[in-house]
């Protein structure tokens, strides 16, 4: 494995960010700031895994959402595969190391929750963890409500926001998404460091959920 210097990484980051920006749409939950956060989290995880190829992780972090389909799109589970194909094509034209293309494509394919593709390399595990981490904590909370607004979902069930006497339905009620998906993420993290951080961030979401429900119900 060829080591990539910090200078080379910085240069590639500039080019990759520009490539991602050229394909971006108006989704504020999957914008350039999201990509920057995913890369920052990945860098923290890389400190625990010096064996990982940093350039592969960098490329996958910035290109994993090249094809971004809405959460309610029937082909949502194909988005990461399409992103991987597009990234491979664009990276090849950019002069990206050919021997790293397969690893980048796999990391992009495997990052998606809906695609359910197992992450088989340490690079893919780090990218998957870093992307999922952005769905937790207070930033994750803001993204959750933003996406719900785009999907025209209600904030919460009118009379039972905590779902004590009904099935959860996060397509209709945004608050339900915490229990339907987000509360599962920490235990699904691939790395020890991500599991620990994920549990810290989930605690904030669960505390918010209780406070929100109390205000919602007027107690």
Q: Per the structure, how many domains does the chain have?
A: 2
Whether 119 and 151 share a structural domain = no
Q: Is there a contact between 59 and 35 (Cβ–Cβ < 8 Å)?
A: no
pLDDT computed for residue 157 by the predictor: 98
Whether 119 and 150 share a structural domain = no
The C-alpha atoms of residue 113 and residue 207 are separated, in whole angstroms, by 24
pLDDT tens-digit profile, the chain (219 residues): 456 777 799 999 999 999 999 877 778 888 999 999 999 999 999 999 999 999 999 999 999 999 988 777 778 889 999 999 999 999 999 999 999 999 999 999 999 988 889 999 999 999 999 999 999 999 999 999 999 999 999 999 999 999 999 999 999 999 999 999 999 999 999 999 999 999 999 999 999 999 999 999 997
The C-alpha atoms of residue 157 and residue 174 are separated, in whole angstroms, by 9
Whether 110 and 211 share a structural domain = no
Q: What is the mean pLDDT of the chain?
A: 94
Q: Is there a contact between 190 and 48 (Cβ–Cβ < 8 Å)?
A: no
Handedness of CA 47, 52, 58, 62 (dihedral sign): negative
Whether 110 and 183 share a structural domain = no
State the pTM of this model. 0.92
Does a structural domain hold residue 1?
A: no
Could you count the other beta carbons within 10 Å of the beta carbon of residue 29?
A: 21
By residue range, what is the domain housing residue 53?
6-128
Whether 90 and 187 share a structural domain = no
Residue at which a domain ends, from 97, 128, 159: 128
pLDDT computed for residue 76 by the predictor: 84
CATH code: domain of residue 163 = 1.10.3210.50
pLDDT, tens digit, for every residue of 120-161? 999 999 999 999 999 999 999 999 999 999 999 999 999 999
Backbone angles phi, psi at 154, to 5 degrees: -80, 160
The C-alpha atoms of residue 81 and residue 110 are separated, in whole angstroms, by 8
pLDDT computed for residue 1 by the predictor: 44
Whose tokens are 């980048």? That residue is 104
Does a structural domain hold residue 69?
A: yes
Handedness of CA 187, 70, 173, 32 (dihedral sign): positive
Does a structural domain hold residue 156?
A: yes
Tokens of 123: 């690079």
């Amino acid at each position: 494995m060829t080591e990539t210097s910090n200078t080379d990484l910085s240069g590639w980051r500039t080019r990759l960010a520009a490539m991602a920006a050229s394909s971006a749409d108006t989704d504020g939950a999957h914008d350039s700031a999201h990509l920057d956060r995913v890369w920052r989290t990945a860098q923290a995880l890389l400190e625990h895994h010096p064996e990982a190829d940093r350039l592969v992780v960098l490329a996958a972090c910035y290109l994993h959402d090249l094809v971004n389909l809405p959460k309610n799109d029937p082909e949502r589970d194909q988005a990461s595969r399409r992103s991987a194909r597009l990234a491979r094509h664009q990276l090849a034209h950019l002069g990206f190391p050919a021997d790293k293309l397969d690893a980048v494509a796999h990391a992009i394919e495997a990052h998606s929750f809906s695609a359910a593709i197992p992450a088989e390399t340490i690079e893919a595990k780090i990218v998957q963890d870093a992307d999922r981490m952005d769905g937790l904590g207070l930033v994750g909370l803001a993204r959750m409500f933003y996406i719900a607004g785009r999907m025209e979902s209600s904030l919460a069930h009118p009379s039972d926001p905590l779902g004590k006497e009904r099935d959860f339905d996060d397509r209709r009620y945004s608050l339900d998404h915490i229990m339907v998906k987000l509360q599962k993420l920490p235990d699904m993290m691939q790395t020890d460091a991500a599991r620990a951080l994920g549990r810290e961030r989930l605690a904030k979401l669960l505390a918010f959920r209780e406070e929100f429900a109390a205000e919602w119900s007027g107690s």
